[in-house]
């Protein structure tokens, strides 16, 4: 099946640092999504990208849809403790299916 | 709105037992989905439904069954539980058409021993 390669797998940073993670695919997709999952919870949508080259912000989060439609990145600026969690990229395959990356686990040292 | 609710939150099964994971949404969403998430991995689609009476297989349907008799409910059935089905199960839903945002429930953590 389709695979999304998400990196890094984990990050250990100091509070206040900026974070960058990315997701690549061998296939073209028309929608890229970024989700965050807190421990014991389901994923929550952070940002949705619908147009190649699009740069979208949601507070301290910024995500870009790559111009080739095969990649996306997510940046978090000035990290705070509540940013801890697992971040997943996802694409919509066909009409229905969400395909997820393996996730990036973010840990923040106070 | 309660959103997407799932029961139970936790369950331990013995090999060969059966159980039904419940999922209900009160947002009048047409589309509903079941995913499983194994440790350290992303979510994989088990089954989905585009409306009452219509279901279809996802990426990993073996060992599971679903039904969709109402818009609100989408139960997932395990008939003969196996250790490979130890996972966290998430239900999700979304509106038909337009923005394709899926809303997820809190998950059911299942262990098969």
Helix, strand, or coil here: A90?
strand
A86 CB near a chain B CB, below 8 Å? no
- Model confidence over A45-82: pLDDT tens digits? 999 999 999 999 999 999 999 999 999 999 999 999 99
| Structure confidence at residue A1 as a pLDDT band (50, 70, 90) | low
| Structure confidence at residue B99 as a pLDDT band (50, 70, 90) | low
Mean pLDDT, residues B23-36: 94
- Model confidence over A15-50: pLDDT tens digits? 999 999 999 999 999 899 999 999 888 899 999 999
Mean pLDDT, residues B82-109: 89
Mean pLDDT, residues B3-24: 96
Residues in Cβ contact with A76 at an 8 Å cutoff, skipping those fewer than 6 apart: A18, A19, A20, A60, A61, A83, A106
Name the DSSP class of A60: T
All residues of chain A having their beta carbon less than 8 Å from the beta carbon of residue B42 are 4, 6, 88, 90, 100-103
Tell me whether residues B43 and A45 touch, CB distance under 8 A. Answer: no
Given a contact cutoff of 8 angstroms between Cβ atoms, the answer to whether B24 and B72 are in contact is yes
Burial class (CB in 10 A: 0-12, 13-18, 19+), A60: middle
Mean pLDDT, residues B15-28: 96
φ/ψ of B85, rounded to 5, equals: -90, 5
Confidence at residue A83, expressed as pLDDT on a 0 to 100 scale: 96
A46 CB near a chain B CB, below 8 Å? no
How far is B107 from chain A, CA to nearest CA, in Å?
6
Given a contact cutoff of 8 angstroms between Cβ atoms, the answer to whether B89 and B34 are in contact is yes
Confidence at residue A39, expressed as pLDDT on a 0 to 100 scale: 85
All residues of chain B having their beta carbon less than 8 Å from the beta carbon of residue A97 are 45, 48, 58-59
| Structure confidence at residue A94 as a pLDDT band (50, 70, 90) | confident
Q: Look at residue A103 and tell me whether its pLDDT is greater than 80.
A: yes
Confidence at residue B65, expressed as pLDDT on a 0 to 100 scale: 97
Mean pLDDT, residues B65-73: 96
How far is B15 from chain A, CA to nearest CA, in Å?
24
How far is A26 from chain B, CA to nearest CA, in Å?
18
Both structure tokens of A13 = 């940073």
| Structure confidence at residue A95 as a pLDDT band (50, 70, 90) | low
Residue of A21, A19, A41, A78 whose CA lies nearest to B109:
A41
| Gap between the Cα atoms of A70 and A67, Å rounded | 8
Its sign, for the CA torsion B63, B87, B40, B92, is: positive
Confidence at residue A41, expressed as pLDDT on a 0 to 100 scale: 87
Confidence at residue A6, expressed as pLDDT on a 0 to 100 scale: 95
In order of A19, A95, B4, B65, the CA distances from B96 in angstroms are 34, 10, 16, 23
For chain A, percent of residues with pLDDT exceeding 90: 81
Which range (A89-98, B3-12, B96-105) has the least confidence? B96-105
B93 CB near a chain A CB, below 8 Å? no
């Amino acid at each position: 099946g389709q695979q999304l390669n998400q990196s890094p797998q984990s990050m250990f940073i100091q509070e206040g640092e900026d974070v960058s993670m990315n997701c690549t695919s061998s296939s073209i997709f028309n929608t890229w999504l970024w989700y965050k999952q807190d421990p014991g919870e389901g994923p929550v949508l952070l940002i949705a990208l619908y147009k190649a080259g699009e740069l979208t912000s949601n507070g301290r989060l910024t995500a870009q849809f790559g111009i080739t439609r095969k990649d996306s990145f997510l940046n978090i600026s000035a990290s705070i403790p509540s940013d801890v969690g697992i971040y997943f990229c996802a694409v919509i395959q066909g009409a229905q299916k969400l395909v997820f990356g393996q996730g990036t686990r973010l840990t923040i040292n106070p | 709105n309660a959103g997407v609710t799932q029961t139970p939150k936790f369950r331990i099964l013995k090999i060969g037992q059966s159980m039904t994971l419940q999922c209900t949404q009160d947002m009048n969403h047409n589309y509903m989905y079941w995913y499983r998430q194994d440790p350290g991995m992303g979510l994989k689609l088990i089954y989905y439904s585009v409306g009452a009476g219509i279901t279809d297989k996802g990426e990993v349907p073996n060992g599971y069954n679903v039904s969709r008799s109402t818009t609100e409910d989408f139960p997932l059935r395990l008939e003969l539980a196996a250790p490979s089905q130890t996972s966290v199960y998430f239900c999700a839903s979304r509106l038909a058409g337009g923005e394709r945002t899926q809303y997820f429930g809190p998950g059911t953590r299942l262990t098969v021993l």
